Structure 1
Amino acid sequence: MTDDEVLAEFRASHALLEGHFRLSSGRHSAYYLQCARVLMNGERAGRLARALVQKMPRELRHHVDVVVSPAMGGLIIGHEVGRALERDAIFLERPEGTFELRRGFSIKPGDRVLMVEDVVTTGLSSREAIKAVAAAGGEVLAEVALVDRSAGAVELGVPFYPLVEINFPTYAPEELPPELAARPVTKPGSRA
């Protein structure tokens, strides 16, 4: 799947939003990718997951024991990547602010994990999720994501394979351009 085909999927589902958004990272942007909308159709979610798996090195696909994703954003795409790899897919939650496994999910010591996210901007959530997997005894082999918004600068400590790189400008709160600062801000992400 080409970058243009991926963006066409976002546009077709009205998942590319324009306005003034405070991202989970705390940075601000005039654009937001609402991955829940692009993934709300099962056929589309499956296509994107299969394309994401194809971005991974072939040898990596065969070494994954379990797929893990952080809730909420990574939950649907993580499930679909698990289906594409024919592996179980579980997720991490933040009931008290830090990621943990719940709902009877567990990782066996030495399990080789593929981390799956929807959008990566600064990588903070990903690094926190990778740390939680390590604390549970798993080894994160790599991370995949639908979208890399980091301009290729994110460092996760593991290999990273995004389906597409989209480099919309982001701003620290004190660096907002006047035209963005004049718009009301929306906080669409899942992190409080």
Structure 2
Amino acid sequence: MNEEEVLGEFRAAGALLEGHFILSSGLRSPLFLQKMLVFQDPVRTERLCRALAETIRERFGDVDVIVSPAMGGVIPGYETARALGCRAIFVEREEGEFRLRRNFEIRQDERIVMVEDMVTTGLSSRECIAAIRRHPGTLLGAACLVDRSNGQADIGVPLVALARLDVPAYPADQLPPELAALPPVKPGSRGLGA
């Protein structure tokens, strides 16, 4: 699946939004990818995650465990693991820090890839990777459906993505006039609407 086909899946799901958006990082952007509109369709999600699994296999070889950050990474992590024929587990916040819970474990001989839905600043990816590194096993790298940083986010391990976008993100006090003229909307998941 090429980059345009990936973005076509988001467009077809009505998940590629344009306007003035407040991202979970607090930055502002003229473009928002509402991935849950993609993930509500199991067939579309399976198609994207199968393509991500192929990309992972090409870059990293065999994988034993996919680890994802809850909540946004759970669906793509599970579907990607299913396509790879490996286990899917996730980290979730406990006392403000990502940790393995629910009796999930990573064994010494396992090869691990972290799977995210999207990477923008890379913060949640870095936090997930830090949690993975507290366990045995070999962390091979990371993968995401869309890299909104266009390869600029440093997450500390090699990152593969089905699509890369160069989407500007601005501090609230440094908006270009055309963005400042639009009312801001706060979509997403961290206690936010939409």
User: In the alignment, what sits opposite 1:13?
Assistant: 13
CA contact (8 A) 1:53 1:61 kept: no
User: In the alignment, what sits opposite 1:24?
Assistant: 24
Q: Distance in 2 between matches of 1:135 and 1:55?
A: 26
User: In the alignment, what sits opposite 1:108?
Assistant: 107
**Runs of at least 4 residues of structure 1 off by over 4 A?**
none
User: In the alignment, what sits opposite 1:118?
Assistant: 117
Q: 2:128 is matched by which residue type in structure 1? A: A
Shift of 1:137: 2.9
User: In the alignment, what sits opposite 2:147?
Assistant: 148
Q: 1:40 is matched by which residue type in structure 2? A: Q
SS at match of 1:52: helix
Structure 2 residue 162 is the aligned partner of structure 1 residue 129: no
Shift of 1:81: 0.5
* Cα distance, 1:97–1:188 mapped onto 2, change above 3 Å: farther
TM-score by length of 2: 0.90
Deviation string, structure 1 residues 70-94 (Cα, Å, up to 9, x no partner)? 1111111100000010001011111
Kindly, what percent of the aligned residue pairs are identical? 53
CA contact (8 A) 1:3 1:164 kept: yes
User: In the alignment, what sits opposite 2:45?
Assistant: 45
User: In the alignment, what sits opposite 2:70?
Assistant: 71
Q: 1:34 is matched by which residue type in structure 2? A: Q
User: In the alignment, what sits opposite 2:86?
Assistant: 87
Deviation string, structure 1 residues 126-165 (Cα, Å, up to 9, x no partner)? 0110000111334321111000111221222211110001
Shift of 1:5: 1.0
CA contact (8 A) 2:23 2:29 kept: yes
Q: Distance in 1 between matches of 2:9 and 2:179?
A: 26
Q: Distance in 1 between matches of 2:101 and 2:53?
A: 26
User: In the alignment, what sits opposite 2:181?
Assistant: 182
Q: Which is further off, 114-123 or 135-144?
A: 135-144
Shift of 1:57: 4.9
Shift of 1:110: 4.8
* Cα distance, 1:155–1:110 mapped onto 2, change above 3 Å: farther
Q: Distance in 1 between matches of 2:24 and 2:109?
A: 31
Deviation string, structure 1 residues 84-119 (Cα, Å, up to 9, x no partner)? 100010111114321111222222245321100111
Q: 2:179 is matched by which residue type in structure 1? A: L
Q: Which is further off, 46-55 or 171-180?
A: 171-180
